[in-house]
């Protein structure tokens, strides 16, 4: 196995022009206060004073392992196999430092530092230097947006950890706190000679000049082998290793031993295919709490011992079921039309799964979806009930998670109870009752009110350049277009149109000024005024566009807010199918 370790520093990594991707199968950002406090203290303690100046000194960060060599500036992103906790922490610290410079009026220093967080490609498009899928889009909004235009509350343990780390760094980088720390080492008189900006710049350079050993693997297999070697000594077994060992103690001889090895290897291979790969531990926990009992990761091994009898045939059946569920899990994570023989009646399902996975970045739903796939394969759920359950989760998470940014801590227990009950069902009648009682009704109790939904919905914006602001807005517009067109699947040739041009002053970016238009027609219409756009709109085959121009012979900035409210109303009533307040005073039949 040939690989070349190279000594690099953080500056060369962040300035390489590469994008570093943390795959979802890697563990989430989980450094607690002890970890990030130790890192910050080390950086501060490494600062030195010489000839009346404060500067940085050498510091070694250890080893980092990547798939791809950032020194060679490859065309595709670099995957981070080992080093994601350190790189995420550095990114959070730089975000806090950039905000400090900005607060002080040092805007140039703020922007220059932020270039280590967000860069641009050859076309001038913003590119995140570090891309984390598990914390997206929160990490993007809170850490990687210098303007911090989108304010969202953390909705997961990882997001809380990101916020707490940032707040710690923000607090510690105030002038009083920095000088308090330095006084203990170099004395008050010396510290007085340094400005706040001097100390912040020295801290910045200290991090940038940190060295590490960079190891570049050519592919995932080589990376995994290198990672195993690097972590072989003293590596603590995790629950999935203990469970595997328990199974293989029983299934170890002859044909059955060969079966166990091949089946386990196949499960890992299944989880490692497709656009998004999944760690075995992540999948196993979702499978377990979807079928047996909800528990945290540390209790999984004990639960396995209690629930799964130590028996050759039982273990064999368990592995076979695990393999079957792994296949279904990857259909959920990486939905493709080919999985359903390109049958149009399943296009809605691929669309819905993509929305939950990519648009809303929700993983808890996989627990429920695994059980739904199980009863579907056993033919004890009707197509209508299957669809009802999937769409209920999609619509709920659009309102609850994407729009209102509410906390999702108790959803895992809802999905687990539903999934376990569903798998125990024996016929379609029982299954239908479980869908209603264990899924629909618990989610209904958590639904945001119309008032909250409408307030947040009306804040949706869309800009032509690539922006995190666009993700939810684009989904909402496509969903509305499907509603007005009375069809399920999104249009393949659609693009978001600003009715008043995006360049117009006012709030032309707001969802009240948006509609879906065929891409070519949108391009042809350009930035004309509304009156001049109407002939182009008349060429559209989308029913929503025809209804809009028939109802709006004129269009101006003052009409945008009212339409945004109306779109929120029809979305809540017609798409989410939730009751409106009795005194709302809006006739949804007239909304376009």
Same domain, 521 and 501: yes
pLDDT at res. 525: 94
Q: Which among 400, 422, 443 is the end of a domain? A: 443
Asked whether the CA dihedral 256, 259, 265, 270 is positive or negative, the reply is: negative
The confidence score (pLDDT) of residue 234 equals: 43
Shared domain for 226 and 243, answered yes or no, is no
Name, in order, each residue with C-beta under 8 angstroms of 66's C-beta and a sequence gap of 6 or more.
Answer: 20, 78, 79, 80, 81, 83, 214, 215, 216, 217, 223
Q: Same structural domain for residues 422 and 470?
A: no
What is the rounded CA–CA span in Å between residue 427 and residue 23?
A: 39
The burial of 569, by beta-carbon neighbours within 10 Å (0-12 exposed, 13-18 middle, 19 or more buried), is given as buried
The answer to whether residue 204 sits within a structural domain is: yes
Residue-level pLDDT at 122: 74
Do 214 and 107 form a contact (C-beta atoms < 8 A)? no
Asked if 532 and 416 sit in the same domain, the reply is no
Q: Domain check: are 11 and 124 in the same one?
A: yes
DSSP E strands: which ranges in 84-210?
A: 118-120, 126-128, 130-132
State whether 131 and 168 are in the same domain. Answer: yes
**Ramachandran angles phi, psi of 151, nearest 5°:** -105, 115
In order, the DSSP letters of 367-384 are HHHHHHHHHHHTT-S-HH
438 with 580, same domain?
no
347 vs 579: CA distance, rounded Å: 28
Pair (413, 522) in one structural domain? no
- Please report, for residues 7, 14, 69, 225, 579, the alpha-carbon distance to residue 4 in angstroms, rounded to integers and kept in the order given: 10, 20, 10, 14, 63
Compute how many other C-beta atoms are within 10 angstroms of the C-beta atom of residue 443.
20
Model pLDDT, residue 327: 97
Domain region containing 583:
453-590
Pair 132, 205 in one domain: yes
pLDDT of the chain along its 592 residues, tens only? 566 678 899 999 999 889 999 876 667 788 888 889 999 999 999 898 888 889 888 888 888 999 988 888 777 899 998 899 999 999 999 999 999 999 999 999 999 999 999 987 777 778 899 998 777 788 888 899 888 877 777 777 788 889 999 999 999 999 999 999 998 888 888 888 999 999 999 999 999 999 998 999 888 778 877 876 766 544 445 678 888 888 988 887 889 989 998 999 999 999 988 888 888 888 999 999 999 999 887 788 889 999 999 899 999 999 999 999 999 999 999 999 999 998 999 999 999 999 999 899 899 999 999 999 999 999 999 999 999 999 999 999 999 999 998 876 789 999 999 999 999 999 999 999 999 999 999 999 999 999 999 999 999 999 887 777 799 999 999 999 999 999 999 999 999 999 999 876 668 999 999 999 999 999 999 999 999 999 999 999 999 999 999 999 999 999 999 999 999 999 999 999 999 998 887 777 777 6
254 shares a domain with 226? no
Residue of 381, 352, 371 whose CA lies nearest to 418: 371
Domain boundary among 334, 359, 392: 334
What string of DSSP letters covers 82-101?
E-HHHHHHHHHHHHHHHHHH
Asked if residue 448 belongs to a domain, the reply is no
Residues 324 and 394 in one domain: no
| Cβ proximity of 60 and 8 under 8 Å | no
Q: Please state whether the peptide bond connecting residue 137 to the residue before it is cis, i.e. omega within 30 degrees of 0.
A: yes
Same domain, residue pair 575 and 483: yes
Task: Report the C-alpha gap between 181 and 204 in whole angstroms.
Answer: 16
Q: Which helix (H) or strand (E) holds 417?
A: helix 411-423
Domain tally, the chain: 4
List CB contacts of 468: < 8 A, sequence separation 6 or more.
Answer: 137, 140, 141, 145, 150
- What does the pLDDT read at residue 191? 87
- DSSP letter for each residue of 278-334: --HHHHHHHHHHHHT----GGGHHHHHHHHS-S-HHHHHHHHHHHHHHHHHHHHHHS
Type and span of the H or E element at 495: strand 494-498
| pLDDT computed for residue 428 by the predictor | 97
Spell out the residues 6+ positions from residue 418 whose beta carbon is closer than 8 angstroms to its own.
368, 371, 434, 435, 438, 439, 442
Of 290, 316, 334, which closes a domain? 334
Q: Which two tokens stand for residue 203?
A: 């801290």
Judge whether 304 lies within some domain: yes
Q: Map tokens 């032509």 to a residue.
A: 464
């Amino acid at each position: 196995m040939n690989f070349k370790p190279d000594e690099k520093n953080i500056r060369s990594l962040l300035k390489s022009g590469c994008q570093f991707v943390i795959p979802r199968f890697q563990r989430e950002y989980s450094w607690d206060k002890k970890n990030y406090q130790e890192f910050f203290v080390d950086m501060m303690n490494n600062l030195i004073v010489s000839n009346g100046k404060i500067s940085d000194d050498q510091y070694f960060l250890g080893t980092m392992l990547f798939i791809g060599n950032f020194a060679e500036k490859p065309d595709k992103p670099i995957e981070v196999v080992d080093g994601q906790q350190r790189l995420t922490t550095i990114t959070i610290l730089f975000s806090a430092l950039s905000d400090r410079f900005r607060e002080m009026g040092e805007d140039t220093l703020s922007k220059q530092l932020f270039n280590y967080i967000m860069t641009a490609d050859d076309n001038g498009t913003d590119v995140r230097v570090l891309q984390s899928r598990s914390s997206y889009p929160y990490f993007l909004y809170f850490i990687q947006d210098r303007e911090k235009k989108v304010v969202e509350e953390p909705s997961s343990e990882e997001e809380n950890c990101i916020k707490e780390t940032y707040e710690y760094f923000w607090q510690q980088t105030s002038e009083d706190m920095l000088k308090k720390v330095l006084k203990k080492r170099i004395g008050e008189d010396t510290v007085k000679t340094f400005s706040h900006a001097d100390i912040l710049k020295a801290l910045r350079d200290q991090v940038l000049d940190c060295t590490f050993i960079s190891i570049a693997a050519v592919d995932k297999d080589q990376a995994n082998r290198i990672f195993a070697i690097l972590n072989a000594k003293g590596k603590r077994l995790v629950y999935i290793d203990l469970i595997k060992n328990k199974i293989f103690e029983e299934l170890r001889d002859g044909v059955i031993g060969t079966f166990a090895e091949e089946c386990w290897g196949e499960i890992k291979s299944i989880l490692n295919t497709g656009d998004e790969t999944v760690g075995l531990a992540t999948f196993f926990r979702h499978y377990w709490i979807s079928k047996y009992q909800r528990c945290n990761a540390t209790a999984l091994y004990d639960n396995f011992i209690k629930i799964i009898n130590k028996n050759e045939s039982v273990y064999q059946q368990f592995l076979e079921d695990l393999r079957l569920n792994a296949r279904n899990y990857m259909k959920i994570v990486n939905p493709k039309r080919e999985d359903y023989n390109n049958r149009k009646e399943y296009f809605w399902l691929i669309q819905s799964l993509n929305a939950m996975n990519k648009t809303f970045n929700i993983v808890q739903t996989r627990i429920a979806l695994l059980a739904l796939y199980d009863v579907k394969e056993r033919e004890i759920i009707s197509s209508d009930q299957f669809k009802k359950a999937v769409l209920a989760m999609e619509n709920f998470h659009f309102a609850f998670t994407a729009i209102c940014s509410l906390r999702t801590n108790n959803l895992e227990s809802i999905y687990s109870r539903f999934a376990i009950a569903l798998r125990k069902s024996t016929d379609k009648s029982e299954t239908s009752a479980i869908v209603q009682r264990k899924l629909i009704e618990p989610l209904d109790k958590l639904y945001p009110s119309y008032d909250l939904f409408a307030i947040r919905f009306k804040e949706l914006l869309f800009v032509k350049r690539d922006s995190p602001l666009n993700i939810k807005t684009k989904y909402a517009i496509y969903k509305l277009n499907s509603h007005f067109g009375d069809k399920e699947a999104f249009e393949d040739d659609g693009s978001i149109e600003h009715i008043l041009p995006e360049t117009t002053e006012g709030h032309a970016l707001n969802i009240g000024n948006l509609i879906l238009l065929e891409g070519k027609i949108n391009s042809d219409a350009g930035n004309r005024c509304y009156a001049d756009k109407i002939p182009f709109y008349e060429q559209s085959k989308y029913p929503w566009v025809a209804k809009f121009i028939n109802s709006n012979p004129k269009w101006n900035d003052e009409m945008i807010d009212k339409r945004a409210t109306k779109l929120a109303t029809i979305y809540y009533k017609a798409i989410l199918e939730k009751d409106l307040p009795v005194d709302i005073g809006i006739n949804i039949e007239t909304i376009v």
